[in-house]
Homo-oligomer: A and B are copies of this chain.
Amino acid sequence: MSEKTADKSRNPIGWGYHEDRLTEAERTPLIQAMQAFLGGEDWQPRAAPAVDDIPLAEARIATPKSLADIVASDHETRLLHAVGRSFRDLAGLRSGAEIAAPDAVARPQNQHQLVDVLAWASDAGYAIVPFGGGSSVVGGVNPEGLERWPGVVTVDMAGLDRVHEIDTRDRVVHAQGGIFGPALDAALKPEGLAVRHYPQSYFHSTLGGWVVTRGAGHFSTLHAKIEDRVQALSVLLPDGRNVTTRALPASSVGIDPNRLWCGSEGALGIVTDVRLRVVSDPAHKDGVSVAFDDFESALEATRAIVQAGIWPAQMRVLDPFEHLISTAMSGRMGEGALMILGFEGERPVDHQKAAALEVAQAHGGTPRPRSDESSGDWRDTFFRQPYLRDALMDYAVIADTFETAVPWSRVPAFYHAVRDATQQAVENICGNGGVTCRVTHAYPDGVALYFSFYGRGDHDALVEQWHQIKTAASDAVMAGGGTISHHHAMGRDHKPWAKQELPDAFRGAIRGAKAEVDPNGQMNPGLWFAD
């Protein structure tokens, strides 16, 4: 990883670190290429507003003296915690509309302070929004319904970033929820262990955030989802009760308690500590690309590989348009679909690689020399992508992604239907534009598809235009039998579709559970089971 995290500051109006915004040398060819593709005149940038110029709802909370050191309500701090990092969030900051911000932001530095903060906010009847890295792209940290609460307090967990224990026998790390990806890996490295969980937000998200959003990471097969890695966890409830589950490899004693908090998105208390299963820092790595004439053949090969139990660590598959785009900047102009395979492990991976290639070739694939996409460079590109989105936003380009998962039996019809519906929406809204797709994760019974779309909007209507495209895409995902999110979580943006996806009685059951652990409904209110 090329990024350094020290001495960098969170960009208050964009993805990631302020210091990592695109350089002019990166920006110019990107904009030129996009302009060439999308056409149109008047490609004048409009800069994001200055932080101080973004209007926030007025803060209503008086901080108690005892918490003065860790609770702030200045404009910039509130702005930094008002939204996540979705296209909607960042376009919203540029829109001139008043932003619903927390009235105060608490930054506890230890469990004791966290208990104090929750006691204060809970007793005062405030809404409480847990905040990890704030990288949500689904509205997971955005205060909602301010008028229903006398105050909203966002609890920034970044100060609770201690590693309690690394168990090299169990290959488990026990750490506080506020630790970020790189710090967790830095602690594991001397022990020969690694997380090997790289969401695109790896540098900007926390262990606790991963767990409560059921994120997926590095691995395309086996243990891709964080919930499969959670051995145990601790949760702090608003009334100060601590819930700690027993550290176990598996159990059959009733319902699994860990799974109630995986995906709870802060609404059932704050996940303060996690025992996470990690792996040995891989001694062996290899990668290869395989070209296919079309996406359908590549999908069939993907299915065959994962159903055969080969389990490549990484298996990304680019549809022809995504392949073209991903190579266009380097002038190579890739044709057809591309499968990018990565293998890693404690033991040699040659046999696994040979097996995957054999299956891929049997499905019409042609091995290619290891390309950028199958090397470490691909990962840098991966982490870099959200910064490109921000640069394009200056030019009113609506560039966003959405992702889903669906059983194999619905593929490729699902792919075509969702792509076409999104393309149509982009064209309706923007005149023209593009939609690309890649496989990010694969399972024996289905596949996760990750779509990107872009078109040029109007500087003054980005949020509404984005919303129309997002709605068309999400409706197609639902109609096709997919999930509204495979690894970005539900948040507030996905609520309409989550309510379709999840049975009513289940939503009722979770409301019932919430009433027991958060009787006043103060924890991150407004999610899918709220009504």
Contact = CB atoms under 8 A, between A and B. Distances in A.
B250 A255 contact: no
Contacts of A216: 250, 252
Interface stretch (A53-61, A120-128, A259-267): A259-267
B513 A510 contact: yes
Contacts of A39: none
A4 interface: no
A489 B255 CA distance: 10
A521 B13 CA distance: 51
A447 B262 CA distance: 23
Tell me the number of copies of this protein: 2
Contact of A511 (B225, B303, B406, B516): B516
Interface in A266-304: 268, 277, 279-280, 303
Interface stretch (A20-28, A146-154, A479-487): A479-487
Given A243-B503, A280-B307, A249 B405 contact: yes
B259 A264 contact: no
A137 to B, nearest CB: 12
Nearest to A268: B509
Contacts of A396: none
A506 B245 contact: yes
Contacts of A509: 260, 268, 513-514, 516-517
Nearest to A350: B351
A11 B113 CA distance: 61
A253 interface: yes
A250 to B, nearest CB: 5
Given A243-B503, A347-B355, A447 B253 contact: no
Interface residues of A, number: 94
A248 interface: yes
A529 B254 CA distance: 9
Interface in A473-529: 481-490, 494, 498, 501-503, 505-506, 508-517, 527-529
Nearest to A228: B228
A263 B252 contact: yes
A245 B483 CA distance: 11
A280 B441 CA distance: 21
A406 to B, nearest CB: 7
A18 interface: no
Contacts of A172: 407, 445
Find the residue from A216, A485, A505 having the highest chain B CB count within 10 A: A505
A334 interface: no
A498 to B, nearest CB: 5
Contacts of A529: 254
Given A170-B445, A253-B489, A254-B527, A243 B505 contact: yes
B506 A257 contact: yes
Given A243-B503, A446-B170, A517-B509, A308 B347 contact: yes
Given A171-B445, A259-B259, A517-B505, A483 B407 contact: no
A144 interface: no
Contact of A406 (B245, B249, B513): B249
Contact of A409 (B170, B303, B481): B170
Interface in A191-238: 213-216, 222, 224-225, 227, 231, 235, 237
A367 interface: no
A244 B503 CA distance: 6
A509 B445 CA distance: 31
A516 B509 CA distance: 5
A264 B505 CA distance: 15
Interface in A313-364: 345-347, 351, 355
Interface in A159-173: 167, 169-172
A408 interface: yes
Interface in A165-187: 167, 169-172
Contact of A214 (B235, B252, B407): B252
A253 B407 contact: no
Find the residue from A215, A235, A248, A251 having the highest chain B CB count within 10 A: A251
A443 to B, nearest CB: 4
A155 interface: no
Contact of A167 (B253, B280, B409, B443): B409
A246 interface: yes
Contacts of A303: 169
Contacts of A406: 248-249
A351 B310 CA distance: 12
Contact of A246 (B490, B501, B512, B516): B501
A33 interface: no
24 contacts: A169-B303, A170-B407, A170-B445, A171-B444, A222-B222, A225-B252, A237-B505, A245-B503, A245-B506, A246-B501, A246-B502, A249-B444, A249-B447, A251-B486, A252-B487, A253-B483, A255-B264, A256-B259, A259-B260, A260-B509, A260-B510, A308-B347, A351-B351, A509-B516
User: What are the 3 tightest A-B residue pairs by CB atom distance, in nearest-first order?
Assistant: A249-B446, A512-B516, A249-B443
